[in-house]
Structure 1
Amino acid sequence: MHREKKESAFRDFILIVAGCTLLAFGVKSIFDPSGLVTGGISGLSILIKDLTSEWIPGGIPLWATTLCLNAPLFLAAFFMKGFRYIKKTLFATVFLSLVLAVLPPWGGVSDDPLLTAVFGALFCGGGMGLVFLARATTGGTDMLADLIHQKLPHYSIAQIMQVLDGLIVLAGAYVFGIHTALYAAMAIFLMAKVVDAIIDGLKFSKLAYIISDRYEAIGQAVNQELDRGATGLYGRGVYSQADKKILFCVVSKKEIVDLKELVYRYDPQAFVIVSDVREVLGEGFIQYR
């Protein structure tokens, strides 16, 4: 058990280091030179750097703003929830600030705003996804939203985050223009998709409900030909009042075509409902960790 804990801690350490490095590169070398304010502390740091460039050569560095803005949030979280709540996030935030400080600026990867939004989203979304896999965050608006939620429990954390990030994006639109803000909004959308893809592992599956009088033959064929299991659920038709057996079956995306052909072969009149499944844990799919 002790060895497993050490391996898990080392894995989380590697994920946080890799994630913060990707995130820092995306913010400093892609979003910052293009003025894309994508919400969060990183977006606010880009905004503050530009606004202070009139008085400070180059503006306040991103790492300094990130560290300073997160410091009061961590103090509040420490007193409200304890050190256990913030320890991984504290390490991630400090390491992110360190990478932002030492990473040499590249001056922008591309002059094309569309490519900037797409590749910035890939780097930042990928970095955040790795940090989330380690069950940590980089502080910022997600932690602030959680703290506000303690005082305003009738609003969800997601709703509070949307308001906070929306205000930052609007401020970015005022400073850098609406054209740049629209690309930033697109980058935010793509970042969310990249984070979801990393957390879910792109292990999407298909769920099929099969309603047929030949459910026994179809169930056996699913087991023998597709090497998948099927579960029979009892149901009753509202109009006919007849008892029905509904087959519940989960298959991979590639196998759904074979499943539909199999059902059609045994019963062309079968009623089949297919839907997407985000994640399936268990034998034949993703193993528990």
Structure 2
Amino acid sequence: MRLKNILMIIIGAGLFSFGLNYLVMPNGLYEGGATGLTLILYYLFKIQPWVMNIIINIPLFILGWKILGKRMLHLSLLGTFAVTFWLAIFERVPLVIDLDHDLMIVSMFAGILSGMGLGIIFKAGGTTGGSDIVARIGHQYTHYSIGQIILAIDILVLVLTAIVSQDLRVVLYTMLQVTVASRVIDIISDGGYGSKGLMIISQKSEEIATAIDSQIERGVTLIKAQGFYTRADVNMIYSVIYKSQLQETKDLIHRIDPHAFITITDAHEVLGEGFTLDKNKQPIEN
């Protein structure tokens, strides 16, 4: 792990935890994913989120380690423990942010801080564990995409939030907060759980394609191409990945070929195997 990535994840975790501890929790708001579950347990049983963050994530990391392998979990482990560390610290530092109990301002401010923190973490190649690990495992054993599984988890947590809070206003402000955070994540890291199209030109196209297929677990297409000036034949790589995998993929390509030419485009809608296509569906033969 690079020192820069480590520092970015620690800083991002600090921003995320700051917003959670000083804005979300004092105003009775919630979150999506595993963090939302820790807040539900906090409001019900007064168990501190930093404690539940460890309790929830340890078995998920053990499961992820066995199923997904240790390589992709290193930075996620750092992100999870950094969030736990900051939450434990902030719990002991009294600070009141007076926003006149205006939940509109609170939810937007919390969303901005949360999005900044998570965006920095994603940009550094890490995650905060939780639903991300569940989604990756689920994607490996079902035909649902990572984005679909994470969305399902967020919806489930919001339903639980509605049941626990019994206050539609709180649920709506939580949705606003999550929406703002998602947008900020996109701005900072070009992350989130949408998709990006990559076109890669390299003299090591076979090695890069194999690495994307085995390590990123995304499909790869090789397109025959020719350089205009050199007239040299080359295999151009085309692959569609999740935005959350973008930084990891760029680092992977750079390690194999620092001189690789890469173009990255927004994939506004992706249909087909690995994204929306049920793997049990077979093409109709004429």
Of residues 103, 110, 113, the one that matches 1:113 is: 103
Once the two structures are TM-superposed, the CA of residue 64 in structure 1 deviates from its matched residue by 0.3
**More displaced stretch, 29-38 vs 101-110:** 101-110
Provide the residue aligned with 1:142 in structure 2. Answer: 132
Are the aligned partners of 1:37 and 1:168 in contact in 2 as well (CA < 8 Å)? no
Are the aligned partners of 1:40 and 1:141 in contact in 2 as well (CA < 8 Å)? yes
Provide the residue aligned with 1:17 in structure 2. Answer: 10
Aligned: 1:163 with 2:152: yes
Are the aligned partners of 2:138 and 2:144 in contact in 1 as well (CA < 8 Å)? no
Once the two structures are TM-superposed, the CA of residue 188 in structure 1 deviates from its matched residue by 1.0
Aligned: 1:31 with 2:18: no
Of residues 166, 171, 174, the one that matches 2:163 is: 174
Radius of gyration: which is bigger? Answer: 1
Of residues 121, 124, 136, the one that matches 2:114 is: 124
**More displaced stretch, 8-17 vs 160-169:** 8-17
Once the two structures are TM-superposed, the CA of residue 109 in structure 1 deviates from its matched residue by 4.6
User: What amino acid is the match of 1:192?
Assistant: S
User: What amino acid is the match of 1:198?
Assistant: I
Percent of aligned pairs with the same residue?
A: 31
> What are the Cα deviations for residues 156-212 of structure 1, in whole angstroms up to 9, with x where unaligned?
1111111111111111112221110001011111111000000139xxxxxxxxxxx
Provide the residue aligned with 1:49 in structure 2. Answer: 42
Q: 1:12 to 1:113 in 2, by over 3 A?
A: same
User: What amino acid is the match of 1:186?
Assistant: L
State the TM-score, normalized to the length of structure 1.
0.63
CA distance in 2, matches of 1:81, 1:142: 12
1:34-113 paired onto structure 2 within 5 Å: 34-52=27-45, 59-103=46-90, 104-107=93-96, 109-110=98-99, 111-113=101-103
CA distance in 2, matches of 1:164, 1:106: 32
Aligned residues: 190
- Aligned Cα RMSD in Å? 1.8
Are the aligned partners of 2:41 and 2:47 in contact in 1 as well (CA < 8 Å)? yes
Once the two structures are TM-superposed, the CA of residue 81 in structure 1 deviates from its matched residue by 1.8
Are the aligned partners of 2:51 and 2:84 in contact in 1 as well (CA < 8 Å)? yes
Once the two structures are TM-superposed, the CA of residue 106 in structure 1 deviates from its matched residue by 3.0
Q: 1:105 to 1:46 in 2, by over 3 A?
A: farther
Q: SS in structure 2 opposite 1:136?
A: coil
User: What amino acid is the match of 2:148?
Assistant: Q
CA distance in 2, matches of 1:49, 1:157: 27
